[in-house]
Amino acid sequence: MKENKIVGIGEIVWDMLPTGKQLGGAPLNFAYMAKELGATSYAISAIGNDELGNETFAKLSGLGVNISALQRNNLPTGQVLVKIEGEGIPHYDILENVAWDAIECSQKELDIVSEADAICWGSLAQRSEESKLSILRMLDEASPGCLKVFDINIRQHYGRKEIIDESLKRADILKLNDDELVLVSDMYGILGKESKVIKSLIEMFNLREIIYTQGALCSSVYDASGLTSRIMTPKVFVADTVGAGDSFTAAYIVSRLNGKNVMNAHETAVRISAFVCTRHGAINPLPKDY
């Protein structure tokens, strides 16, 4: 089986959880799980020249994710203050003016993305103009065969329409949850039920697929023909749901790159994300039987 080269671009943060701090950030969570599933994974981001940055570098060096394009600058390393409420649902306070707000795009980053089989990114790391322009340039340098996955991840007030627009224009696959579907449908003035909103987005941006997750209820995959797969979310003991969506995306994309059909890839994604919910934080190794 081909070893796929997968890249996560965007924020690296420490989630400050009630149980202690956990390294994360959606693109890193995605890249880590892709690595656990057999891909060669790269994390492109920036951390600070501070003590927390040193701790981040040391932790990342042992994860198996390629960090040759991890940048360092004089802004503080990113932190997210996380409160866990009922059903393990996290609520975030994302600190501003941090290292990943100043991601640069050099030849090193362009060389990596030009050889990628899949790239995943979100809206959060594009809240600053510098990082946004760097991320868009990397996406534009990807090879024509690269699968571009926009895991929208709207957090707090950072999901501006112009950011969503530019990313959707470049995406092959969009992943979003029920809260984000409401925000995006309002943003584009699309009225109607889930299926109509999703169909309109696929047509508007010429998307291949939309992955739509509804937390503890179910998840669905749509393409231009309509609903292709829907799976109820399994009931597990939830430690927290941090990183579950990122792991879902990674498992689905790696499975598709490995030749699985939509249903089989979706089943794998549901199983992996359910496992992540049983652990604290996003970065935990998969058991051998996964």
Report the distance separating Cα 5 and Cα 142, nearest Å. Answer: 12
- Output 220-224 pairs: Cβ under 8 A, ≥24 positions apart: 220/194, 221/252, 221/262, 221/266, 222/195, 222/198, 223/262, 224/199
Q: Where are the alpha helices (DSSP H) in the chain?
A: 26-36, 51-61, 107-114, 129-140, 161-170, 178-187, 194-205, 244-257, 262-277
Chain length of the chain: 290
Q: Could you list the pLDDT tens digit for every one of the 290 residues in the chain?
A: 568 999 999 999 998 877 788 898 999 999 999 999 999 999 999 999 999 999 999 999 999 999 999 999 999 999 988 777 776 676 778 999 999 999 999 999 999 999 999 999 999 999 999 999 999 999 999 999 999 999 998 876 777 899 999 999 999 999 999 999 999 999 999 999 999 999 999 999 999 999 999 988 999 999 999 999 999 998 888 877 778 899 999 999 999 999 999 999 999 999 999 998 888 777 888 887 76
Torsion of CA 70, 287, 91, 171, to 10 degrees: 60
Q: Which residues contact 21 (CB under 8 A, 6 or more apart)?
A: 14, 15
Q: Return the exposure string of 96-110: e unless at least 16 CB atoms fall within 10 Å of the residue's CB, then b.
A: eebbbbbbbbeeebe
